[in-house]
């Protein structure tokens, strides 16, 4: 059961990373820095925040508090990154840190206690916390991407008006155990 959990969360993190990657591929440089108003965040700011959170939470994941002294969370929401390439580099840096921390975990690690802002969490709770946090922000990125894509948005899931065809295909196959992300993930690129 616990190894199933670890496999599942790794696939889910890979899936949400893929949603961001596929959104970024549809956007020009300017789209990364567009803000609706002064109180809203650009894609670049959201990525900077996600990366800062990942680096803080997953650096020395099992041994130090997940809110590192060197992190400046407020600065993550200030315009810092200047190019699409810099945003993507920051994105990759955060995800690399996350996968390097969770890939070696075993079922024996899941009940270990770690701390985030001096608050104890089991490893499972800490992972679940981030698995709720990151998709929240990635959904914001995707929504902004849909609004800002210049060449028409390429759907990242079931395109509008295609649910019946999609479901017919699924129900035409025998029942099977599979992870929902398997059909979406390109194993060669996202196998972490």
Render pLDDT for 37-83 as a digit per residue (tens, 0 to 9): 999 999 999 999 999 999 999 999 999 999 999 999 999 999 999 99
Residue 177: which pLDDT band, with cuts at 50, 70 and 90? confident
pLDDT of residue 189: 46
Distances (CA, A) of 151 to 139, 145, 180: 20, 11, 29
Q: Which domain holds residue 173?
A: 2-190
What CATH number is attached to the domain comprising 9?
1.20.120.450
Q: Determine the Cα–Cα distance for residues 108 and 191; give it in Å rounded to an integer.
A: 23
Q: How many domains does the chain divide into? A: 1
Give pTM, 2 decimals: 0.91
């Amino acid at each position: 059961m616990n190894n199933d959990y670890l496999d599942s969360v790794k696939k889910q993190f890979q899936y949400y990373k893929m949603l961001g990657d596929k959104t970024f591929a549809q956007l020009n440089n300017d789209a990364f820095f567009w803000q609706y108003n002064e109180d809203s965040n650009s894609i670049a700011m959201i990525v900077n925040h996600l990366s800062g959170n990942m680096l803080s939470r997953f650096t020395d994941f099992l041994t130090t508090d997940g809110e590192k002294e060197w992190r400046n969370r407020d600065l993550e929401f200030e315009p810092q990154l200047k190019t699409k390439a810099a945003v993507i580099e920051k994105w990759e840096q955060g995800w690399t840190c996350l996968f390097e921390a969770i890939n070696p975990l075993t079922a024996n690690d899941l009940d270990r206690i770690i701390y985030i802002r001096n608050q104890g969490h089991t490893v499972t709770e800490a992972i679940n916390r981030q698995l709720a946090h990151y998709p929240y922000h990635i959904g914001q990125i995707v929504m902004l991407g849909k609004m800002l894509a210049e060449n028409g948005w390429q759907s990242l899931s079931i395109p509008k008006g295609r649910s019946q065809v999609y479901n017919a295909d699924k129900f035409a196959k025998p029942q099977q155990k599979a992870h929902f992300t398997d059909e979406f993930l390109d194993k060669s690129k996202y196998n972490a």
